[in-house]
Amino acid sequence: MDAIYALKNKKFLILKHSLIFLIVISSGFWCIFELINLRIQNWFYINLPREINQRWILGYLLSYGTVIPAIYVTKEIIHSLMGEIKIKNMYIKNYAVYAITVGLFMFFITLLLPEYFFGLAWVSFGLIFDGYNYKVRNRSFAKDMEKGCIDNLLASMLGGLFCGILWEFWNNWAVTKWVYTVPFFEELKLFEMPVLGYVGFIAFGFETIAFLNFLEGLWSVTKKMMALTLMAFICFFTFPLIDRYTVFSYIAKIDEIDFIDKQKIETFKNKGIKTSFKIDVKSLDKYERDMLELMHLKGLGIINLKKLRQNNIKSVEELSTIDEETLSKIIDEQRKRRIRLFLKAAKIKKRPL
């Protein structure tokens, strides 16, 4: 996307010496939402690699490090195609005070009543940052609208939506992925995301660019280094918490699998197969296929598979017959939205055609 932008405008937006700075800042920015998710419990991760360097560096740091660059570049391309869009000048008296106050209220009510107000997490920081930007004369959406310009706001929101759709599309087909457990919206989904959740990407585009405007207002090198240090600290404070509370399962290595005949395992290893997702299902007998299918069901994982086997549940069909309380006790998972997701997946998997 940055190369496409450079073809037209003769300059890169992110492919320059400041990219490493932006990756760390972006990762720290997203980690704020990972911390919020510890409270609202809207998503969790499945089938992650066990190696900590793969998870933390190639996974969390670089993956989260794409958030701001992706939305920023996409927004700029959309903006260049859109051009100026004029509206009637809009002025809100004491905007900075109202925006920051309302943003803080949204944030605290999200933490206080996450079951009902989880969606406000995707608006609150945008208001806080835009209010602050307006107050200190950084670039802000409110200032744009006072001048009768709404194109920057629209481009930011569309950039968030465009990236969100791509992220959800790619995530849908991935092995290592995130899964949503959003209250009241567990049924109607497009890919893994509840349909109404895409509205959140529109708000997140606004929020991300408001934060970027805040960063651009840090004019001194000292302040930028302080911001970088803070975001790096947030990252490495958050990563262990993600491992403990948000990661649900890890990819099963071939040596961990004990329900497949040892000779078959050796054959797979000789072929260079390292994980359960590369196993040729056709070479397995019915018991082995059932167990593998159960382990892979929505990333249930090998640890939970062993717990199910100890309770004589050895297939997706058998899993579909138990209730929420039983499964919760077996795998020691108290978050009922996660339990419902696995039981629903089991019932769909074994639903007659």
DSSP per residue over 204-241, as a string? HHHHHHHHHHHHHT--SHHHHHHHHHHHHHHHHHHHHH
| Cα 157 off chain centre by | 17
Residues 311 and 330: beta-carbon distance below 8 Å = yes
Residue-level pLDDT at 186: 72
Enumerate the domain spans of the chain. Answer: 2-246, 254-349
Cβ within 8 Å of residue 197, ≥6 positions away: 180, 182, 185
Question: Which of 136-140, 239-243, 278-282 is predicted most confidently?
Answer: 239-243
Residue 110: how many other CB atoms lie within 10 Å: 21
Q: What is the pLDDT of residues 11-44, one digit of tens each?
A: 999 998 889 999 999 999 999 999 999 999 999 9
Q: What is the pLDDT of residues 339-348, one digit of tens each?
A: 999 999 999 8
- What's the rounded Cα separation, in Å, for the pair 211 and 220? 17
- Token digits for 96? 């900075």
- What's the rounded Cα separation, in Å, for the pair 210 and 72? 11
Residues 343 and 332: beta-carbon distance below 8 Å = no
- The pTM for the full model equals 0.92
| More confident site: 351 or 291 | 291
Considering all CA atoms of the chain, what is the largest pairwise distance in Å, rounded to the nearest integer?
75
Task: Select from 1, 305, 352, 338 the least CA-distant residue to 159.
Answer: 1
- What's the rounded Cα separation, in Å, for the pair 141 and 152? 7
- Token digits for 65? 């490090």
pLDDT band of 353, cuts 50, 70, 90? very low
Q: What is the pLDDT of residues 129-150, one digit of tens each?
A: 999 999 999 999 999 999 999 9
Residues 335 and 181: beta-carbon distance below 8 Å = yes
- What's the rounded Cα separation, in Å, for the pair 233 and 289? 44
- What's the rounded Cα separation, in Å, for the pair 162 and 196? 15
- What's the rounded Cα separation, in Å, for the pair 200 and 164? 9
pLDDT band of 351, cuts 50, 70, 90? low
> Lowest mean pLDDT: which of 185-194, 198-207, 262-271, 302-311?
185-194
Check pLDDT > 70 for residue 65: yes
Task: Select from 23, 24, 21, 59 the least CA-distant residue to 233.
Answer: 24
Residues 346 and 297: beta-carbon distance below 8 Å = yes
